[in-house]
Amino acid sequence: MPEFPWPAGAATGIGSLPGTDIVEAQRVVFGELPDLPHLPELPARGPGADLIGRSAGFLVELPVQLYAGRWQMAPRPGQDLRRTADLLERDLDQMTVQGDGFAGTFKLQSAGPWTLAASIDLQIGGGVLRDPGAVRDLTDSLAEGLRRHVDEVRKRLPHASILLQLDEPSLPAVLAGRVPTESGLSAYRAVNAPDAATALRTIVEAVGVPVVAHCCASDVPLQVFRDSRAAAIALDLGLLKDLDPVGEAIEAGVGLFAGAAPTQPTDGRALTGKQVAERVTKLWTRLGFSATRLAEQVVVTPACGLAGATDAYARAVLNSCREAGRRLAEA
């Protein structure tokens, strides 16, 4: 079994948290997730802090701007891109302060190339997704930008090991030909799985750190993620329908970021650490794997991002995930 780039019994967040205070958000992350903290995203801060705008800010020599509420390619960098860069710089500055001396594994996040291509418009109209050449340019640009981002974080956290998470919520729709065109009357042509994996692999090979491929949908494209050579796959356990592909990925040595804690309370409170751990253990048992592999191969996470949660609930969920990871390590 391969060695995994995180400690046994680790827990982490998917990315987003509620609120607009990056100082408090990073304090929570480093406090509640000491074994695998991440750079939190706060979309409530507005444009440039959202998944698409923040990730588009990593693009090299492909500036974007907001137009009619959507991100589109721009002829030159403008105020929208400056705001995005300023928000990221504040985040990195706080990470540098609060992560001073940190020597564990630290996780970064960005939208992947297919979610960006499905969400950003060309200057001439229509989505980037409609133009294969534009998708290739975007992918190459994102690969270089994320390589630079990883290098910048390495300089600021010189003792840490870095993980990169690629968020691909739109990939199932891209593969199925369900991404609507500008008019909404039709959809863009489906992208085949090998091409989808090739674009993701471009990122994986460029950044020089292990990559976690994330998609919280019921039809997670596990084979595409495996073919991209991602080190791990992050998914929502509550949406899983077919366990066989998950078992095959685990058998092949792929790590699992198990989204086991709901992002919203069902009875007014978060699941306890014991309940979260039981959800993970139940899946592992159904898959038929040895318990000795569980704590090493699995990282416990919330089901998805926590931007829509209250501050108190988000903190409780992260606490439960950490407790669940500890229980799995001690089992």
User: Do residues 149 and 155 touch, judged by C-beta distance below 8 A?
Assistant: no
What is the C-alpha to C-alpha distance for residues 73 and 135, in angstroms, rounded to an integer?
12
Q: Which residues of the chain have pLDDT under 70?
A: 1-2
User: Do residues 331 and 281 touch, judged by C-beta distance below 8 A?
Assistant: yes
The string of pLDDT tens digits covering residues 6-43 is: 999 999 999 999 999 999 999 999 999 999 999 999 99
Q: Where are the chain's structural domains? A: 1-42+234-331, 46-103+111-203+217-230
* CA distance to 16, 106, 146, 201, 226, per residue, from 229 (Å): 25, 20, 17, 6, 5
pLDDT at 244: 94
What is the C-alpha to C-alpha distance for residues 120 and 110, in angstroms, rounded to an integer?
14
pLDDT at 3: 86
Q: What is the mean pLDDT of the chain?
A: 96
The string of pLDDT tens digits covering residues 117-130 is: 999 999 998 999 99
pLDDT at 2: 62
Q: What phi, psi does 158 have (nearest 5°)?
A: -65, -20
